Amino acid sequence: MAHWSEDAIFYHIYPLGLCGAPERNDFSLPAQPRLERLYEWMDHITWLGANAVYLGPVFESTAHGYDTADYFTVDRRLGTNETLARVTEEFHRRGVRVVLDGVFNHTGRDFWAFRDILARGQGSPFCGWYSNLRFDQRSPWGDPFSYEGWAGNFDLARLNLGNPDVKNHLLAAVESWMRDFGIDGLRLDAADCVSLDFQRELAAFCRRSRPDFWLMGEVVHGDYRQWANPETLDSVTNYECYKGLYSSLNDANFFEIAYAFNRQFGPGGIYNGLPLYAFVDNHDVNRVASNLKDQAHLYPLYAMLMTMPGTPSIYYGSEFGLTGRKNGSDAPLRPALNLGRLNASSPQPELRSAIHRLAELRRQHSALRSGSYIQMQVAAQQFVFQRQSADERLVVALNSASQPAALLLNLPQGGGWLEDVLNPGEGFAVHNGQAHVTLPPNWARVMQVK
């Protein structure tokens, strides 16, 4: 039986940003139920075509959410545990799966175990909770001890996942999230830094409770099979294709992304059968509208995202064509948004309808969700590939030029007609295994072979 993630289209939300939370947490203040702002987005999310949401960090933290202070309590800037339980219940009522961020590599300095070390020094029973904690030198923060910071960030103290007490604490937290919020999966932050032994224990723990529980890891470099395999995670972030998706458009070089698709998913592809998490932007990178030189390329870009192998994800607000660049801070990538204002006036008012059409097409056609991938034709600004399942064959043809493009397609497997299911009412005859196809500018055709 297929896993639910094979049919998923994710909507990625960074709650502290979208809900307008203060930049830093004041632990003396009462909880404010800002997370309830997600209710007004739910109709939009489901209309867009998403049937799963990935919520960025929601648990008590110092600032951005990845500096955890308490794994068992929802961040007071977002509400209470009851607030999150009600939100996840409403998503589930609408048929939307809910995945949370699991930040297991490190904690913030306000995490209770770290604060105990600050208070009690070598007398703290939690000295073994952190990697390379030493009392013979000072930290960059001036502490009377040093410790390992994640990627040189000493506001993020790296946990010692080999310590049984640390593992038990984290697994107990996950158990409470599954029980109290009914979540359907986790995205592991910095999974490429989290020990594989811990990932194996986490996977076994979760699947004993929920065999369909989904685990996806944030991985930037390396062989994705090291993390995504039957013993550890179900999926990882497809950063290799992330870059090629937009730069192939900027450079008029579809050969770049075609190479990545073929390497990953073509005949003999190294990730065949592995549903990688596909995206064009997220909370850590520039909004894709800021990366593209031509905003018209948003349309073939999302057509590629929604027809390529893998599990597609849309970052909140990007369906309106919003821009945002890192400027020494991630804040421009994670803004508070007003849905009413976006619906009334957005940079690309037609984009969300285009994504809606593409998502509906993906829902209707199994070949787009789990079919095989075969490259058919590549040029500088045109790209054609085939997705095929047991019961259908689809030809996806993309054009990033500002003018229509005429192609001669070879269809050695036969067929008499190409029906464009993306642009209803259009189609092309096949004669002697060939079809003359015209592609609209900066758009796509998804053609069913009949």
Task: Convert the pLDDT of each residue in 193-213 to its tens digit.
Answer: 999 999 999 999 999 999 999
pLDDT for residue 415: 80
pLDDT for residue 147: 98
Q: Judge whether residue 85 has pLDDT over 90.
A: yes
- d(Cα 157, Cα 268) in Å, to the nearest integer? 41
Residues 390 and 335 in one domain: no
Note the pLDDT tens digit of each residue in 7-57: 999 999 999 999 999 999 999 999 999 999 999 999 999 999 999 999 999
Note the pLDDT tens digit of each residue in 100-125: 999 999 999 999 999 999 999 999 99
Note the pLDDT tens digit of each residue in 123-144: 999 999 999 999 999 999 999 9
Q: CATH no. for residue 440?
A: 2.60.40.1180
Note the pLDDT tens digit of each residue in 370-386: 999 999 999 999 999 99
Q: Judge whether residue 260 has pLDDT over 80.
A: yes
Q: CATH no. for residue 274?
A: 3.20.20.80
What is the Cα 361 distance to its own chain's centre?
20
Residues 138 and 104 in one domain: no
Residues 372 and 416 in one domain: yes
Residues 141 and 190 in one domain: no
pLDDT for residue 1: 74
Note the pLDDT tens digit of each residue in 284-342: 999 999 999 999 999 999 999 999 999 999 999 999 999 999 998 999 999 999 999 99
Which residues are CB-neighbours of 369 under 8 A, at least 6 positions away?
A: 6, 7, 362
Q: Which domain holds residue 134?
A: 109-160
Last residue of a domain, one of 128, 145, 160: 160
Burial class (CB in 10 A: 0-12, 13-18, 19+), 360: middle
Residues 20 and 129 in one domain: no
Residues 210 and 335 in one domain: yes
- Tally Cβ neighbours within 10 Å of residue 366: 19
Residues 79 and 203 in one domain: yes
Last residue of a domain, one of 125, 145, 160: 160
pLDDT for residue 386: 98
pLDDT for residue 414: 77
Residues 282 and 199 in one domain: yes
Residues 69 and 176 in one domain: yes
The number of distinct structural domains making up the chain is 3
Average pLDDT, the chain: 97
- d(Cα 394, Cα 415) in Å, to the nearest integer? 11
What's the mean pLDDT in 390-396?
Answer: 96
Q: Which residues of 80-117 are buried (b: 16+ CB within 10 A; e: fewer)?
A: bbebbebbbeebeeeebbbbbbbbbbbbbbbbebbebb
Residues 177 and 320 in one domain: yes
Residues 378 and 271 in one domain: no
Q: Judge whether residue 423 has pLDDT over 80.
A: yes
Q: CATH no. for residue 122?
A: 3.90.400
Instruction: Find the length of the chain.
Output: 450
pLDDT for residue 252: 98
Last residue of a domain, one of 128, 160, 192: 160
Residues 96 and 132 in one domain: no
**Could you tell me the pLDDT band of residue 413, with boundaries at 50, 70 and 90?**
confident
Q: Judge whether residue 186 has pLDDT over 80.
A: yes
Residue 3 φ/ψ, nearest 5 degrees = -75, 145
